[in-house]
């Protein structure tokens, strides 16, 4: 049985701030179902809910050496489903409000990376593969390569590094190398990149393999436009790189058994989906017009999510008042203010909810006819897969995981509507094509909805591809 240690800085159901938590909360279980022994290791944050902490069992404690420091490290464990979780305890680093954004994040996650390797010896679980995720665990392959591989009990462990978003790399000044990270000048070249210390660069150079969260994104990040400066090292190590499309948790996102939505439904009972639309509009204070398509957006209100395209063309989209829109999200002030203004300008057609509310997000997935996702870049994206699961047709730009998961309706064989160039008029063209089918061919629209709901984005096939990557390095 293949043994995998999955190192991440967040994972559902314990702690979450973004998509990494969804992946770390779902993929390990799918790997176990496929026959592997996959265990997850996380920091023990104070933000983990008390009822989940109550299920944890204390295993051991020891000292982690980090540069000149000798640091306490406790290890707790818990089991969720078929997955064992280990938690690294150090209150100085992790008993804080929040996960990231502290002045000493480099030191905090250097400690965690060292602890990941020390836990292996302390709990007696020697993995065949350690799968690390994003910059917070990028030092695991670096420390293993420099210091641990020659230790007794650490031989022949392979490391896989997964890039979820290349924009966040763990970049710091060179002064932290020896004093904070405990890496000597003679090994400085492993982490130095563009005249600074770059955690992600170190992982790309030292890991056995590098993966990212969709095949298209794996190609895009070789291009300077998408790579945020990492294209040179990625081209140098391109032989290691592959992309595997993320899946979604099909139990969490299941319209047939979802208490958060107004009416549970499946592909055989689409009249109940229409009930969700009606009740969603009523709850938002918008009039219900069954003949008008309702377009939803659940997004961070930032430039790279394509919100500027929507802003540029919004009045033209509303010209004939033949659509309604609901937007849920928060982010940059200028976009929040814009959507508030659009709600005031089009009170019968637009509702803007500034903030994030998980149950309301699901109600939008279930109640809308279309889901707009015009991202400038999107490593994988989960929202378009969730929308399909709820029979809501995605309208997306062809980038990253959006390109890999959504095929244009075209001659009737796709599962959504796509556009290529990052252009507001091209986006409106895709919306207009979706509207054309909705208004002009009710049978065709119903068939598209059923096809969307039949798409399989469970973790099963993705887990198999991860196992193939692990097998290739062993």
> Which pLDDT tens digit goes with each residue over 100-127?
999 999 999 999 999 999 999 999 999 9
The pLDDT, as a whole number, for residue 411 is: 82
Sheet containing 192-193: order of strands: 171-172, 196-198, 192-193
pTM, whole model, 2 decimals?
0.94
Over residues 63-73, the mean pLDDT reads: 98
Residue appearing with tokens 């982490």: 191
For residues 161, 253, 270, 460, the Cα torsion angle rounded to the nearest 10 degrees is 50
- Other CB atoms within a 10 A radius of the CB of residue 181 amount to 26
Mean pLDDT estimate for the chain: 97
Q: Give the ranges where 4-103 is alpha helix by DSSP (H).
A: 19-33, 50-53, 91-94
Spatial separation of the C-alpha atoms in residues 126 and 129, rounded to whole Å:
9
pLDDT band at 45 (very low <50, low <70, confident <90, very high): very high
The pLDDT, as a whole number, for residue 18 is: 85
Spatial separation of the C-alpha atoms in residues 296 and 261, rounded to whole Å:
15
DSSP state of 372: E
Confirm if 386 and 26 have CB atoms less than 8 A apart: no
Q: In this model, does residue 35 exceed pLDDT 90?
A: yes
Taking only the tens place, the pLDDT of each residue in 250-305 is: 999 999 999 999 999 999 999 999 999 999 999 999 999 999 999 999 999 999 99
Taking only the tens place, the pLDDT of each residue in 149-170 is: 999 999 999 999 999 999 999 9
Spatial separation of the C-alpha atoms in residues 150 and 153, rounded to whole Å:
9
Spatial separation of the C-alpha atoms in residues 412 and 134, rounded to whole Å:
38
φ, ψ for residue 53 (rounded to 5)? -65, -35
pLDDT band at 382 (very low <50, low <70, confident <90, very high): very high
Adjacent-strand bridge partners of 243 = 212
φ, ψ for residue 175 (rounded to 5)? -65, -15
Residue 252 in tokens: 């969490």
Confirm if 270 and 391 have CB atoms less than 8 A apart: yes
Taking only the tens place, the pLDDT of each residue in 16-31 is: 998 899 999 999 999 9
What DSSP element (H or E) covers 401? helix 400-405
Spatial separation of the C-alpha atoms in residues 376 and 397, rounded to whole Å:
8
Spatial separation of the C-alpha atoms in residues 291 and 282, rounded to whole Å:
16
Spatial separation of the C-alpha atoms in residues 199 and 180, rounded to whole Å:
13
- Asked if omega into 13 is within 30° of 0 (cis), the reply is yes
Adjacent-strand bridge partners of 192 = 197
DSSP state of 145: I
Over residues 393-400, the mean pLDDT reads: 98
| Cα separations in angstroms, 289 against 254, 348, 350, 409, 439 | 26, 10, 13, 25, 13
Between residues 334 and 410, the one the model is more confident about: 334
Spatial separation of the C-alpha atoms in residues 155 and 144, rounded to whole Å:
10
Over residues 330-336, the mean pLDDT reads: 97
Q: Give the ranges where 81-192 is alpha helix by DSSP (H).
A: 91-94, 105-123, 139-143, 176-179
What DSSP element (H or E) covers 461? helix 459-473
Q: Is 291 exposed, middle or buried (0-12, 13-18, 19+ CB in 10 A)?
A: exposed
The pLDDT, as a whole number, for residue 61 is: 98
Taking only the tens place, the pLDDT of each residue in 401-435 is: 999 999 999 888 999 999 999 999 999 999 999 99
Spatial separation of the C-alpha atoms in residues 466 and 468, rounded to whole Å:
5
Residues of the chain with pLDDT > 90, as a percent, come to: 97
The pLDDT, as a whole number, for residue 213 is: 97
SS3 410: coil
Spatial separation of the C-alpha atoms in residues 131 and 353, rounded to whole Å:
37
């Amino acid at each position: 049985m293949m043994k995998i240690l999955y190192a991440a800085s967040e994972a559902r159901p314990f702690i979450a701030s973004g998509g990494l938590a969804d992946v770390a909360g779902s993929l390990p279980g799918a790997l176990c179902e496929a026959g592997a022994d996959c265990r997850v290791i996380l920091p023990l944050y104070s933000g983990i809910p008390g009822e989940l902490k109550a299920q944890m069992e204390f295993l051991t404690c020891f000292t982690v050496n980090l540069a000149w420091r000798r640091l306490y490290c406790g290890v707790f464990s818990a089991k969720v489903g078929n997955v064992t979780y280990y938690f690294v305890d150090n209150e100085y680093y992790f008993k804080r409000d929040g996960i990231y954004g502290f002045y000493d994040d480099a030191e905090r996650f250097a400690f965690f990376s060292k602890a990941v390797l020390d836990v292996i010896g302390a709990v007696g679980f020697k993995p065949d593969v350690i799968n690390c995720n994003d910059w917070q665990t990028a030092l695991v392959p670096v420390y293993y390569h420099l210091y641990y591989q020659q230790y007794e009990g650490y031989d022949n462990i392979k490391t896989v590094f997964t890039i979820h978003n290349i924009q966040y790399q763990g970049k710091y000044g060179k002064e932290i190398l020896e004093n904070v990270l405990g890496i000597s000048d003679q090994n400085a070249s492993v982490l130095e990149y563009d005249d600074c210390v770059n955690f992600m660069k170190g992982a790309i150079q030292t890991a056995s393999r590098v993966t990212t969260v969709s095949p298209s994104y794996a190609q895009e990040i070789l291009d300077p436009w998408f790579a945020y400066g990492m294209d040179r090292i990625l081209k140098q190590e391109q032989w290691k790189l592959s992309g595997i499309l993320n899946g979604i948790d099909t139990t969490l996102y299941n319209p047939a058994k979802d208490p958060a939505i107004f009416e549970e439904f499946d592909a055989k009972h689409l009249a109940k989906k229409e009930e969700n639309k009606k009740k969603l509009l009523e709850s938002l204070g918008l009039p219900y017009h069954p003949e008008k398509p309702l377009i939803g957006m659940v997004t961070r209100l930032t430039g790279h999510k394509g919100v500027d395209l929507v802003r540029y063309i919004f009045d033209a989209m509303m010209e004939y008042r033949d659509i309604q829109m609901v937007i849920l999200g928060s982010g940059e002030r200028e976009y929040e203010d814009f959507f508030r203004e659009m709600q005031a300008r089009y009170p019968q057609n637009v509702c803007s909810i500034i903030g994030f509310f998980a149950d309301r997000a699901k109600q939008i997935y279930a109640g809308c006819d279309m889901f707009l996702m015009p991202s400038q870049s999107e490593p994988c994206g989960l929202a378009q897969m969730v929308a399909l699961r709820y029979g809501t047709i995605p309208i997306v730009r062809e980038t990253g995981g959006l390109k890999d998961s959504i095929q244009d309706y075209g001659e009737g064989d796709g599962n959504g509507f796509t556009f290529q160039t990052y252009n507001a008029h091209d986006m409106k063209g895709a919306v207009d094509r979706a509207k054309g089918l909705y208004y002009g061919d009710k049978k065709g629209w119903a068939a598209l909805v059923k096809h969307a709901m039949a798409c399989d984005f469970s973790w099963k096939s993705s887990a198999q591809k991860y196992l193939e990557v692990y097998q290739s390095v062993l």
